[in-house]
Structure 1
C-alpha cells in the first residue's frame, strides 16, 4: 500500500513566529510514523513559519511570480532548513527519511501546468526509503518563480504514484462547520460557505485550497489533526473524508 502523508506547517511549527519548529509536536508525529512502517510512505510537509513568511515578505505566491533571485533563495533556503529538521526528527526514530527538494526537479509551464517528475520518488520507495518533500518555490515559465504548495505536491504525488490513501495532518480535527467536523465532502459548493482564510500568514490557499485540490483526486483523502495521525496510519478514517 502506498500512502502520501502531509504534515501541515501549522502542525510542526509555530506558524506565527518566524522559523520556529514546534519540537514536541514534530517529535511526537515522527514517533507515531515510526510505529507504522509496513506501508510505502511519502511525506510532504508545509512551510509553516519558515516558507510562508519569506514568501509573503517578497510578494510571491501560487499566482504572483517573481524574478527576484534573492526572493527565490530566501524562500527555498527557509524550506530547506525546515526540511532538514523534519528529516532529522524522523531519522532519530529510525524512519529512513530522505530529502527531496522540489525546486531542483519541478516547474510550471506557460499554461500553468505543474511538471513534477516522480521516478526519483518511486525509486526511493522501491529501495526502502521514505522520501520527504516540502512546499517550495519553483520555476514558472513567463512568471519567473511561484510557490508550489504542499497540498499541490500531495495531489501530484498521489496521482503519479497511484497512492491508495492520502492524509493531511492539520491543526484542526477536520473541515469544520462551526465547531463540528464535517464527516465527508464530495462537492466544494456544499462547504464553500464555511471555508474561510487561514488566521496565520498563508500564501497557498488555506483550507479552501486543500479541499479544492483533494476533490480532484480519485484517491480517498482525509483531513485530521495530530490525534488523527495514528488512526489514519492504522487504516481508519479520522476527521473529514474528501472525495
Structure 2
C-alpha cells in the first residue's frame, strides 16, 4: 500500500504536468469527459468521503470535549461547509479581478490574486496527497477508487485554472500543484497526526471538491452535458456500492 500510494502520487504529478495535452477539453459545447469526470468526483464525495467522517466522529468528540470545544463535537460537516465557502470566495475574487482587468485589456487576473488562488489549491492538493497515504483504506481497491476520483478531479481543476490564469498557470501553477501533492504525501509518510485532524482535512476536502465541480458544471456558457454528468454519478456510485 505504501509504494502504491507513492505511485499514485506520481501519477497525480503527471496529470498536472501534462493535462494541457488533452486539447479536446477546450471544446464548446463542453467536453462530455469533463462532465463525466465531475459526476465521478461528486459521487465519490457523497458515497465515500462524507460517510467516512462518521467513522472518525468518536475520536473527534473525545478530543473536542477534552479541549473544551464540545459545542463543535456534532458538527464535523461545518468544516466541509468552510471548505465550500472558502473556494466559492476565491472563485468570486478571481472573477472580479478578471472583470476589472477586462476593462483595461485582456482578461487576466492580477499577480496577487493568482498567487492567492494557487496558494489555496497548493493546500488543497497537499491534503489530497496527505490523505492518499494516511487514509485507512479497507483494501487496495479503496485506494484505487480514491485515486481515480481525484485524478479526474485534477483534470477538471487544471482546465479551470488554466482558463482563468492562462500562461501564469502553465509557467508556475501546475508545477506548484504538482509539488503540493508530493509535499502532502511526504508529510503523511513521516508524521502521524491525531485522527480528528484527518477528519477535518477530509471534511474540508469534501467541501472543496463539491464547490470546484459545481462551479464548472453550472454556468450557462459551459453548455455542460447533464446526461454525461449523470452517467458519471450513476456509474461510479454503482461501482462504489458493489465493490
TM-score, shorter chain, exceeding 0.5? no
Q: Structure 1 or 2: larger strand share?
A: 1
TM-score scaled by structure 2?
0.28
Higher RCO, 1 vs 2 (CA within 8 Å, ≥6 residues apart): 2
